Structure 1
Amino acid sequence: MYLADRSAPAGAQAAPDGASARAPAVASAVVALGTVSLITDVSSEMVTAVLPLYLVAGLGLSPLGFGALDGVYNGVGALVQLTGGHLADRVRSHKLVAGLGYGLSALCKPLLLLAHSLTAVGVVLALDRTGKGLRTAPRDALISLSTPLASQGRAFGVHRAMDTTGALLGPLAAFLILNLTVDGYDAVFGVSACVAALGVVVLMLFVPSGPDACAPGVSGTPEPRREPAAAKAGGGVSVREGLALLRLPRLRALAACAALLGLTTVSDAFLYLLLQERTGVGERWFPLLPLGTAAVFLLLAVPAGALADRIGRRTVFLTGHALLLTGYGLLLWAPDFPALPYVVLALHGLFYAATDGVLPAAVAATVPARLRATGIAVVGTGQALARFGCSLAFGGAWTLWGSGPALAAAAAGLCCCAAVAGFVLRPSVPDGDVPGPHGDRATPAPRAPGGPR
């Protein structure tokens, strides 16, 4: 149950003649969406890699101001994510809504060339995050609907690995552009706009239009649960149906724990600023810091997803947060350790590998197919809003107390929240109880006498 759900072996599927057949590792739709995310992340991470330094060193923004702007950067996307998920389920076109999101983000990149004040930059970033919010839930729903339940962790791991390849190339491109051009920041923003436009083109040409393109028996897609006739006749999904998802105990637990942990998860930008301050990393090397996180994430996203499918998502998810907490501790108590930047970035990448794809895979197992995007959006919105609050609080604490006490408070909070999440998400499905293909429980296996209940 919850993140502890275990399924049948990945790829196992009943063939028409009763023999066992093995489905492909991932569906073609997953690969196509991964390619779009790879290209888009090259564009986004080029900007993200230089943005903290551009705002703090270039425009003179204080840590509190940067925390507010970083919060807006994440919070706007969180608010829109719920709209994007519900809209995709309602119009029954996940690709259309995702395409609108990718297109809006692409249009924002050239606007950064014209934004040279904090207000203008803030508006452009808010629009960019609106695009991200629109596309996230429909994209993840397409991945989920194209993949059997038993292989959800692997599929999301493959997508996140491809996405992270873009996150790896983006900072490297920004670093090269900054060192080869005179107007470095403007050149980064211009190239980013061109790459983002390419991502939209690939989405339109190569991504299937929706789950109908992944019919039962194709790409290992499980046979969908039969929906009531009224639901089919009613067409799109209503707001009431979306809100009713919160009545599901499993979804409520996932949403609550994701938000709770998000409240104490320091944003990537702040983590890189902390590394620069506490280890003395030079400004010219700052755009390369995300490469460490991205490289580890790229290498381990697929193995972590497959491991979560095999041993349980709760274990992998909580282990990821424990690794992040270890990174906070090293920043606090071992600032003179020569290898500190490499170790912290590796732990940061491990954290993402163990959590970023595992959470939507767990959500996919709790909601029916026709509400998949809405369910993913509910959990994602709560988590992103919590991280918005964390950015504001951490920026204020850094300004008032300094970086060390602010990070100590975040580490203490993360430790407490992880303990609470571990209790709430504790395994409650006895061995042998396997969730059905859409998150509803299958027929329980016989329990041994005296077994747990």
Structure 2
Amino acid sequence: MVTAVLPLYLVVGLGMSPLAFGALDGLYQGATALSRLAGGHIADRAQRRKLVAGTGYALSACCKLALLAATTPWAVGAVLAADRTGKGLRTAPRDALISLSCPQEEQGRAFGVHRAMDTAGALLGPLVAFAVLWAARDGYDAVFVVSFCAAALGVLLLALFVRDTSTRTPDRPVKRKRRGRRSLRTLARTPGLPRLCLIAALLGVVTVSDSFLYLLLQRRLDLPTAYFPLLPVGTAAGFLLLAVPLGRLADRIGRRPVFLAGHGVLLMAYVLLLGPWGGGTAAAVCVLVLLGAFYAATDGVLMAAAGPLLPPHLKASGLALVQTSQALARFAGSLLFGAAWMYLGPGGALTAATAGLAVVLASVAAFHRGSHA
């Protein structure tokens, strides 16, 4: 719900410039970096993945209410940083729980099921946000309150029904610093993991944030403010329908080819948005569905590709390392795109991003041709 209204709230409601929004959106994407690593390390070290994940969800839930008091860009930035810290804490332990609860040959389907259910909420969220903005006088504040209530219910369900999985192994006591260094060395030497982190980072730099794409579509369609939250619905619908099938396809033909193909779909969305037909409603719907297909082919598939590479006792830490590589890259990408928007205009910025994605995707595909995820 919050994600659906946030770009318009910041740019229109608070009058933020594209460069400032790019920096804030980059912060929104990249603030998870250190907290992902911390969350993964703490969860593996304490063998309390459910507790760490629940703490992250609770922190993000509280930030929904904190947005009510944030009326300046910097205050909003602080709240978003705290929200993303919560996301960083929870993501790796949650994905580790998923990975540990199913056999390796079904990792893609398992993550596909999770992403599909997650996206079902993402599909309902914009619809509820649209209804609230339509009906409420102080629409943004109402969206934040309703979002908090839904998040609090989610934390309660996690606490009551999610089971933890222990991977504790007998080991002699080791100093904390030495243990951390040993874990990092183990991950760095894990076959295939450094390469996967590099691929995720390179493609992350040239991935345009959804928020910018929605703003571009809103301008091309001259969409009224109240209808803006409906734009993520198309993305969520595509994600929901394709997450499980593409996860199963990744299990069958390889996760890396599906991951790269997903970025090819994203490239198609950029080209469609740049074309003279990008201002039509049908083309806009196609862009949103392609964006959903991109996430279905990459989000859970990347975790499914990383999971089998990792030893069980370092599952959360290793997944956090992959996620952090991607998050930092997308943080840099948002800053670059925001600056390009200011100096080249929206069309020039998207053209540069399209060219960059095409070059990086072709290079990665050529370098890793013949390899299997």
Q: Same-fold call, TM > 0.5?
A: yes
Q: Which amino acid aligns with 2:121?
A: G
- Between the aligned partners of 2:24 and 2:214, the Cα distance in structure 1 is 16
1:413 equivalent in structure 2: 356
Residue among 229, 245, 248 paired with 1:287: 229
Q: Structure 1 residue 341 and structure 2 residue 284: aligned? A: yes
1:252 equivalent in structure 2: 194
Q: Structure 1 residue 378 and structure 2 residue 321: aligned? A: yes
Q: Given that residues 79 and 385 in structure 1 are in contact (C-alpha distance below 8 angstroms), is that contact kept between their aligned partners in structure 2? A: no
Q: Structure 1 residue 160 and structure 2 residue 132: aligned? A: no
2:331 equivalent in structure 1: 388
Could you list the per-position Cα deviations for residues 155-205 of structure 1 after superposition, in whole angstroms to 9, with x for gaps in the alignment?
000000000000001111000001111111111111111111111111110
Query: 3-state SS of the aligned residue for 1:300?
Result: helix
2:31 equivalent in structure 1: 76
- Between the aligned partners of 1:234 and 1:349, the Cα distance in structure 2 is 45
How far did residue 243 of structure 1 move?
1.4
- Between the aligned partners of 1:385 and 1:414, the Cα distance in structure 2 is 17
How far did residue 282 of structure 1 move?
2.3
How far did residue 260 of structure 1 move?
0.2
2:205 equivalent in structure 1: 263
Query: 3-state SS of the aligned residue for 1:357?
Result: helix
Where structure 2 has 5 or more consecutive residues not aligned to the other structure, the ranges are: none
How far did residue 98 of structure 1 move?
0.4
- Between the aligned partners of 1:248 and 1:357, the Cα distance in structure 2 is 20
2:145 equivalent in structure 1: 190
Q: Which range moved further: 93-102 or 244-253?
A: 244-253
Could you list the per-position Cα deviations for residues 294-347 of structure 1 after superposition, in whole angstroms to 9, with x for gaps in the alignment?
011001100000000011112211111001000000111133444111000010
1:274 equivalent in structure 2: 216
- Between the aligned partners of 2:201 and 2:246, the Cα distance in structure 1 is 22
How far did residue 80 of structure 1 move?
1.1
2:262 equivalent in structure 1: 320
- Between the aligned partners of 2:175 and 2:46, the Cα distance in structure 1 is 8
Q: Which amino acid aligns with 2:226?
A: R
Taking a change above 3 Å as real, the CA distance of residues 110 and 338 of structure 1, as seen in their structure-2 partners, is closer
2:307 equivalent in structure 1: 364
Could you list the per-position Cα deviations for residues 215-252 of structure 1 after superposition, in whole angstroms to 9, with x for gaps in the alignment?
xxxxxxxxxxx97x647x66999211331111234001
Could you list the per-position Cα deviations for residues 369-399 of structure 1 after superposition, in whole angstroms to 9, with x for gaps in the alignment?
1001011000100100000001100001001
Q: Which range moved further: 156-165 or 76-85?
A: 76-85
2:43 equivalent in structure 1: 88
Q: Give the CA RMSD over aligned residues.
A: 1.8
Query: 3-state SS of the aligned residue for 1:182?
Result: coil
Q: Structure 1 residue 243 and structure 2 residue 198: aligned? A: no
- Between the aligned partners of 1:281 and 1:321, the Cα distance in structure 2 is 27
- Between the aligned partners of 1:241 and 1:378, the Cα distance in structure 2 is 15
Taking a change above 3 Å as real, the CA distance of residues 424 and 81 of structure 1, as seen in their structure-2 partners, is farther
Q: Structure 1 residue 331 and structure 2 residue 273: aligned? A: yes
Where structure 1 has 5 or more consecutive residues not aligned to the other structure, the ranges are: 1-45, 213-225, 430-434, 436-453
Taking a change above 3 Å as real, the CA distance of residues 84 and 248 of structure 1, as seen in their structure-2 partners, is same
Query: 3-state SS of the aligned residue for 2:31?
Result: helix
Q: Given that residues 242 and 375 in structure 1 are in contact (C-alpha distance below 8 angstroms), is that contact kept between their aligned partners in structure 2? A: no
- Between the aligned partners of 1:95 and 1:56, the Cα distance in structure 2 is 37
Q: Which amino acid aligns with 1:173?
A: V
- Between the aligned partners of 2:279 and 2:163, the Cα distance in structure 1 is 51
Q: Which amino acid aligns with 1:342?
A: V
Length-normalised TM-score, structure 2: 0.95
1:53 equivalent in structure 2: 8
- Between the aligned partners of 2:346 and 2:31, the Cα distance in structure 1 is 26
Q: Given that residues 314 and 426 in structure 1 are in contact (C-alpha distance below 8 angstroms), is that contact kept between their aligned partners in structure 2? A: no
- Between the aligned partners of 1:396 and 1:156, the Cα distance in structure 2 is 35
Q: Structure 1 residue 136 and structure 2 residue 77: aligned? A: no
Q: Which amino acid aligns with 1:241?
A: R
Could you list the per-position Cα deviations for residues 347-380 of structure 1 after superposition, in whole angstroms to 9, with x for gaps in the alignment?
0000001111100011011111100101100010
Residue among 300, 308, 317 paired with 2:250: 308
Superposed counterparts of 1:194-213, under 5 Å: 194-211=149-166
- Between the aligned partners of 1:298 and 1:60, the Cα distance in structure 2 is 33
Length-normalised TM-score, structure 1: 0.79
2:365 equivalent in structure 1: 422
Superposed counterparts of 1:392-403, under 5 Å: 392-403=335-346
Q: Given that residues 304 and 353 in structure 1 are in contact (C-alpha distance below 8 angstroms), is that contact kept between their aligned partners in structure 2? A: yes
Identical aligned residues as a percent? 61
Q: Given that residues 273 and 279 in structure 2 are in contact (C-alpha distance below 8 angstroms), is that contact kept between their aligned partners in structure 1? A: no
2:128 equivalent in structure 1: 173
How far did residue 419 of structure 1 move?
1.6
Higher helix share: 2
- Between the aligned partners of 1:424 and 1:201, the Cα distance in structure 2 is 46
Q: Which amino acid aligns with 1:55?
A: L
Count residues in correspondence: 370
